[in-house]
C-alpha cells in the first residue's frame, strides 16, 4: 500500500520494531495528555487563505543561523536511531543532506559525531546534554566543532528524566549490541553503568540520567558553554516568556520551543500553543523554532504564521527510518515539503515572508473586528 502521509509510518514502525523499542520512541510522560495535545492543538488553528494571487512560483528557502536551507523543516535530535534501523543516524544524515536541510544529532546517538560527519557534506547541529563531569561536556563540544557541526542545541528541560511508564514496564535499556557512540571511549556508552538496584522501579535510561546528567544545570552554565565554544547555542526546551527573556540575556543565538516530545513534564501546553508567548517575548532579537507534533505541511505553515522561523520533526524520522531506512526519511521530508508548498500556494503566499499572522485564526484569538463595509 502506498504511503501518502507522514503519520502512516507510525503503524508500520509498530509492526516492525520490538515492543520495547517502539514504546520508547512513541510514548510520552505519565498520562500522555501533552503527547495528544501536541497534535490536537494544531487542529484548533484555521486558515484565512488569500485568493487570486499569482502562486506559479513558490520559494520555500530560508536561512537558519546564517545557513541557507531548502525549506523551514529540519530534523530534531532523537536518540538511539540504530534501534530503528541498522544504518541509524547515518541514514538520517544522508536523507537530511539530500533534502538540503539541517539534521540535529542527539548526544545519545548510536553513531558518533565523527561517523555522522563522514557521511558527506551537510549542515548539522549537535544536541547537548550536560553531564556531571564537565570535562566530558567540553570534550564532546570540541569533537562536534572539529567534525564540522555548526551549532549546539542545549537541552534544558531534562535535569531528571520524565516518568515514561511504558519504559518502566518494559524495563527499557539500550540493546546490548548498541552503544551511545559519543561516550564509548569515556566508559559512559553503556546504560548498565549504573547500579540498577537503586532504581528498581525505573527504566535503564532513567537510572543512567540520574547517575550522569547534571541536575545543577542553570543559566550560568549557558554562559560557561559560550566560554568553551564559538558555536551558536540554541536553547531547547523553552515554554515561557520569562525564560525567553533570560535566554536572550544569556546570549542564546536562538530558542527552540519544545516540551521534549511530551516526554518530560506532562500537562505543559502543546508547543504550538506556547509558541506565540515565546515569539512575543523574543521581540525579534533571536529566531524562535518549534518542535513537537508536526505531521503535516499545514502544521508547518501554522507554526510560521505564529512567528516560528522553522520547525523540527522527531518521531516521524524514527518511524520512517524503522519502516524504510534512508528512503523513508527522504520520503517524510519530501511529503512535508510538498504539503507545505501546496499550503502556501492555496493560502496565497509565494515566500516565507508573506506568511503572516493574518493567514491563521486560532480559537484563543479574540473575535475579529470585521472591517466596515
- Active-site residue set: 260
85 is in an annotated binding site: no
Q: Do the strands 62-64 and 73-75 form a parallel or antiparallel pair, or are they unpaired?
A: unpaired
271 is in an annotated binding site: no
358 is in an annotated binding site: no
62 is in an annotated binding site: no
269 is in an annotated binding site: no
Measured CA to CA, the distance from residue 123 to residue 344 in angstroms comes to: 25
314 is in an annotated binding site: yes
Give the sign of the dihedral formed by CA 213, CA 219, CA 220, CA 223: positive
Q: How does DSSP classify residue 292?
A: S
258 is in an annotated binding site: yes
139 is in an annotated binding site: no
Q: Is 233 helix (H, G, I), strand (E, B) or coil?
A: strand
H-assigned helices in 213-270 = 219-228, 241-249
Placement of cell 531548502 in the chain: 70
Contact 255, 289 (CB under 8 A): yes
77 is in an annotated binding site: yes
E strand intervals along 169-319 = 233-238, 254-257, 288-291, 310-313
Which candidate, 336, 341, 316, 310, places its Cα nearest to that of 125? 310
Q: Is 153 helix (H, G, I), strand (E, B) or coil?
A: strand
Measured CA to CA, the distance from residue 95 to residue 90 in angstroms comes to: 9
Measured CA to CA, the distance from residue 62 to residue 344 in angstroms comes to: 14
315 is in an annotated binding site: yes
**Partners of 131 in the β-ladder:** 213
- CB count within 10 Å of CB 65 equals 17
79 is in an annotated binding site: yes
25 is in an annotated binding site: no
Placement of cell 501546496 in the chain: 342
Q: Residue 36, exposed/middle/buried by CB under 10 A (0-12, 13-18, 19+)?
A: middle
220 is in an annotated binding site: no
295 is in an annotated binding site: yes
163 is in an annotated binding site: no
Q: Do the strands 124-128 and 151-155 form a parallel or antiparallel pair, or are they unpaired?
A: parallel
263 is in an annotated binding site: yes
260 is in an annotated binding site: yes
Residue numbers in the known binding site for glyoxylate are: 24, 129, 164, 260, 263
Residue numbers in the known binding site for FMN are: 77-79, 106, 127, 155, 236, 258, 291-295, 314-315
Residue numbers in the known binding site are: 24, 77-79, 106, 127, 129, 155, 164, 236, 258, 260, 263, 291-295, 314-315
Amino acid at each position: 500500500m502506498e504511503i501518502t502521509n507522514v503519520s502512516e509510518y507510525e503503524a508500520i514502525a509498530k509492526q516492525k520494531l520490538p515492543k520495547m523499542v517502539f514504546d520508547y520512541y512513541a510514548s510520552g510522560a505519565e498520562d500522555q495528555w501533552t503527547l495528544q495535545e501536541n497534535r490536537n492543538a494544531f487542529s484548533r488553528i484555521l486558515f484565512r487563505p488569500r485568493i487570486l494571487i499569482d502562486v506559479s512560483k513558490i520559494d520555500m528557502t530560508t536561512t537558519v543561523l546564517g545557513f541557507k536551507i531548502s525549506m523551514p523543516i529540519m530534523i530534531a535530535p532523537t536518540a538511539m536511531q540504530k534501534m530503528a534501523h541498522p544504518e541509524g543516524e547515518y541514514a538520517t544524515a544522508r536523507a537530511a543532506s539530500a533534502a538540503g536541510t539541517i539534521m540535529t544529532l542527539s548526544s545519545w546517538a548510536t553513531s558518533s559525531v565523527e561517523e555522522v560527519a563522514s557521511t558527506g557534506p551537510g549542515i548539522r547541529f549537535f544536541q547537548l546534554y550536560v553531564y556531571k563531569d564537565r570535562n566530558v561536556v567540553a570534550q564532546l563540544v570540541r569533537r562536534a566543532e572539529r567534525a564540522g557541526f555548526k551549532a549546539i542545541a542545549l537541552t534544558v528541560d531534562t535535569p531528571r528524566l520524565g516518568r515514561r511508564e511504558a519504559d518502566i514496564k518494559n524495563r527499557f535499556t539500550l540493546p546490548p549490541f548498541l552503544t551511545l557512540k559519543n561516550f564509548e571511549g569515556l566508559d559512559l556508552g553503556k546504560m548498565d553503568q549504573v547500579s540498577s538496584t537503586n532504581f528498581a522501579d525505573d527504566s535503564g535510561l532513567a537510572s543512567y540520567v540520574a547517575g550522569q546528567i547534571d541536575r545543577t544545570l542553570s543559566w550560568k552554565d549557558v554562559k560557561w558553554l559560550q566560554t568553551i565554544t564559538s558555536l551558536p547555542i540554541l536553547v531547547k526546551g523553552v515554554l515561557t516568556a520569562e525564560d525567553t527573556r533570560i535566554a536572550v540575556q544569556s546570549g542564546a543565538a536562538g530558542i527552540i520551543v519544545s516540551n521534549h516530545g511530551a516526554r518530560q513534564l506532562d500537562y505543559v501546553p502543546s508547543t504550538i500553543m506556547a509558541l506565540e508567548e515565546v515569539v512575543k517575548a523574543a521581540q525579534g532579537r533571536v529566531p524562535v523554532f518549534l518542535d513537537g507534533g508536526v505531521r503535516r505541511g499545514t502544521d508547518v505553515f501554522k507554526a510560521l504564521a505564529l512567528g516560528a522561523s522553522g520547525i523540527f520533526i522527531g518521531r516521524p524520522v524514527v518511524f520512517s527510518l524503522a519502516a524504510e531506512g534512508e528512503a523513508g526519511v527522504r520520503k517524510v521530508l519530501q511529503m512535508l515539503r510538498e504539503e507545505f508548498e501546496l499550503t502556501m500556494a492555496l493560502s496565497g503566499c509565494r515566500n516565507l515572508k508573506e506568511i503572516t499572522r493574518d493567514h491563521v485564526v486560532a480559537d484563543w484569538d479574540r473575535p475579529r473586528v470585521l472591517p466596515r463595509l
